[in-house]
A and B are shown apart, each in its own frame.
Chain A
Amino acid sequence: MPLDPVTQVSGRAVFIPGADIDTDRIIPARFMKCVTFDGLGAFAFYDARFDEAGNPTAHPLNDPRFTGASILLAGVNFGCGSSREHAPQSLKKYGFQGIIAESFAEIFFGNSTTLAMPCVMASAADVEQLRMAIEKDPATTVTIDVISLTASTSGGLNCPVTMPDSAREALVSGRWDPIQELLENAAAIDTKARELHYV
């Protein structure tokens, strides 16, 4: 049963500065006390967005110019740290459709792909160009094209981006959630289980 292919995501963008944005930052652990992922969107970047008294900070997500942004722009090693799927879940539920960063931590990357949220890598110079474009005109639309592997803006900027072939293929062919394919190989799984002495 093929899922919807993810070939392109598009929307206004917001830049979140800093290297090594970890998943504790994206979703603090206290918000993981839940048995479903529902409602996590409200807590994305919570401790960066609000001070201890609950007042909004100067975080980009609180900047009215970037309200409603659905493309996240970031630096190196985005999503490092904990394996918590709560992190990409919270970003997706917050409204993000895709992420452009200089690099991603692997577990976060895999979790995001499985949620049909493309994560593509761009050079530092291109991330900076995209940042300047949205800073200059926050109404700029940024499009991540998973087929052509480009990030383009409504202002005419066009940057090459990369992602592993397997993730790209999984997204564009509607196989981003691999469960059906994994289950279809039941016979091979059983054979492998018999081969392995410890199983």
Chain B
Amino acid sequence: MGKNLFQKVWDAHTVGHLADGRTQLFIGTHLIHEVTSPQAFGMLRDLGLKVKFPQRTFATVDHMVPTIDPENPQDPLAVEMMQVLRDNVDDFGITYFDLASGKQGIVHVVGPEQGITQPGTTIACGDSHTATHGAFGAIAFGIGTTQVRDVLASQTLALEELKVRRIEVNGRLRPGVYAKDVILHIIRLLGANGGIGFGYEYAGEVFDRMSMEERMTVCNMSIEGGARCGYVNPDANTVAYLTGRPYVDMSDFNATAARWLSFASDPDAHYDDRVRINAADIEPTVTWGISPDQGIAISQTIPDPANAATPLEKASIEEALAYMKLGAGTPIQGVKIDVAFIGSCTNGRISDFREVAKYIRGHHVAAGVRAIVVPGSQIVAIQCEQEGLPDIFRQAGFEWRSAGCSMCLAMNPDKLDGDELCASSSNRNFKGRQGSPTGRTVLMSPVMVAAAAINGHISDARELFHLENPPSEV
């Protein structure tokens, strides 16, 4: 029986086994940012250790960067943490894509953009959305800060091997259904804890047809389904995307590309579980609750706890509805929004902004709605400028900001106020996630966020924008 990609990459990176049975896994690429790395460097210094392979760690600043005047944060804690990162990369000789580099951005946008993210590699970062990089056929996962120390000091981690679940989505997505809807649908089906113990392999016609950016959107939210990592097998799309990127060695590229493709799962690979989904069953999907698996199709009504299958489910629905201030059994369409956010490591790439810009001309954000658009990196921002996208957004009443994580987790000044409800292209609808302890988040695709912003309430973008033809080749 053949091997799946996870097994191939795992085996290729296994250094040995520890006394407790865990694998010592070599981490080829380590990404760091300002929030979860300072304590790790502190531990390193306390132990008198050095960074073993400084050339294999890459840093950027993203979580706390203001999206208005990023060079001048007003929050003294942000200033301190950004300075500590600067000191650490200087002390240990680590490559840093800082604000002045023109390459700064969300760490999961920067890695692929620079070609640092490559197939057949292991990638770790003190951030759970590291799964994003799995779009390239890498085994990429989030780690804690003590593990950041472990990678800095040894370039390895002590890990338990994962099982692999192959999730096949075949057929064609219907018009107005995006990669974001696909992953929200998968999480809804399998649950926020369905992936515990698994890595997810996304396979089938829909993922085969997806662009690399769409694959990143899907892999990004693996962790929301409980899977520590998710990946798509590398193919011609992967190779084409990486060709000519700064960190891709083009000197013997045919051999490099062949090596990358060799990591793809064998046709007779073993899987611990398989799930098959029909693409045509997926509708534009939005969340209604406080966990990413609390989602429904835009045409559906909000669940009623009276219909819950178990007492636990009933309690979860009641808690979510009380927090979200939404009515059981009522349509999700028409729920008034206060804020719209387009950006994040899930949906902050050039294709996301291009797609929204196609539809918002001639429309305007509804009165009373604050709509902000945050490119995922400085490079994405420059691409957008070159294509005239910021003006299209501004004319439609959106604020165009500088690159960073922004209102996905609100560690910078971009926050909800009170119990504001935000239509958001980000990845988490947890209580308080967007910076206000009572703030409410409804997750959806960027085009659906734009429709909500324009109508002032949660809407079916297919109706507002007449999405009669497939928005992409997917």
Binding site for B on A (CB under 8 A): 17-20, 22, 24-25, 28-30, 32-37, 47-48, 52, 75-77, 80-86, 88, 103-107, 110-111, 114-115, 124, 164-167, 169-170, 173, 175, 177-179, 181-183, 185-186, 188-189, 192-193, 195-199
- Picked from A47, A88, A188, the residue with its CB within 8 Å of the CB of B432 is A47
Q: How far is the CB of A120 from chain B (nearest CB, A)?
A: 15
Q: Is the CB of A193 within 8 A of B26?
A: yes
Given contacts A35-B42, A36-B39, A83-B128, contact A181 B146 (CB under 8 A): no
Given A52-B438, A75-B312, residue A198 in contact with residue B28 (CB < 8 A): yes
B435 at the interface (CB under 8 A from A): yes
**Is B90 an interface residue, CB under 8 A from the partner?**
no
Chain A residues lying within 8 Å of B147, measured Cβ to Cβ, are 110-111, 114
Contacts of B410 in A (CB 8 A): 29-30
Task: Report the separation of the CA atoms of residues A109 and B403 in the bound assembly, to the nearest whole angstrom.
Answer: 32
Do A80 and B192 touch across chains, with their CB atoms under 8 A apart? yes
Q: How far is the CA of A84 from the CA of B33 in the complex (A)?
A: 12
Query: Are B196's CB and A106's CB within 8 A?
Result: yes
Quick check: B19 and A198 within 8 Å, CB to CB? no
A114-B144 in contact (CB<8A): yes
- B160, A164: Cβ atoms closer than 8 Å: yes
A199 pairs with B312, CB closer than 8 A: no
Which of chain A's residues have a CB closer than 8 A to the CB of B157?
182
**Do A83 and B26 touch across chains, with their CB atoms under 8 A apart?**
no
- Complex Cα–Cα for A196 and B121 (A): 9
Q: A25-B432, A114-B144, A169-B21 are in contact. Are A80 and B226 (CB under 8 A)?
A: yes
- What are 27 A-to-B residue pairs whose CB atoms are below 8 Å? A18-B316, A19-B312, A20-B291, A29-B409, A29-B433, A29-B435, A32-B36, A33-B35, A33-B77, A36-B39, A52-B418, A80-B226, A82-B127, A83-B130, A83-B144, A105-B193, A107-B223, A114-B146, A166-B22, A177-B146, A185-B156, A189-B15, A189-B155, A189-B156, A193-B53, A193-B155, A199-B53
List the interface of chain B (C-beta within 8 A of A). 12-13, 15-16, 18-22, 24, 26, 28, 35-36, 38-39, 42, 47, 49, 52-53, 56, 64, 75, 77-78, 80-81, 84, 118, 121, 126-128, 130, 141-147, 149-150, 153-160, 192-193, 196-197, 223-224, 226, 228, 256, 259, 291, 293, 312, 315-316, 319, 409-411, 418, 428, 430-433, 435, 437-438
In the complex, which residues of chain B have a beta carbon less than 8 angstroms from the beta carbon of A185? 15-16, 24, 154, 156
Residue with the highest number of chain A CB atoms closer than 10 Å, among B143, B197, B430: B430
| B411 engages A178 (CB within 8 Å) | no
A189 touches B26 (CB 8 A): yes
A114 partner residues in chain B, CB cutoff 8 A: 144, 146-147
Contact B435 A30 (CB under 8 A): yes
| Nearest B residue to A199, CB-CB | B28
Contacts A33-B78, A85-B145, A107-B144 given; does A17 touch B315 at CB 8 Å = yes
Instruction: Determine the chain A residues whose CB is within 8 A of the CB of B228 once the complex forms.
Output: 106-107
- The answer to whether B144 and A85 have CB atoms under 8 Å apart is yes
In the complex, the answer to whether A76 meets B193 with C-beta atoms within 8 Å is: yes
Q: Which residues of B contact A76 (CB under 8 A)?
A: 193, 312
Q: Are B42 and A175 in contact (CB under 8 A)?
A: no
Question: In the bound complex, do residue B430 and residue A37 qualify as a contact, i.e. CB atoms below 8 Å apart?
Answer: no
The CA of A104 and the CA of B226, in the complex, are separated in Å by: 10
Asked if B430 and A25 make an inter-chain contact with CB atoms under 8 angstroms apart, the answer reads yes
Give the chain A neighbours of B431 by CB distance below 8 A: 22, 24-25, 47-48
Contacts of A103 in B (CB 8 A): 193, 196
Q: How far is the CB of B378 from chain A (nearest CB, A)?
A: 23
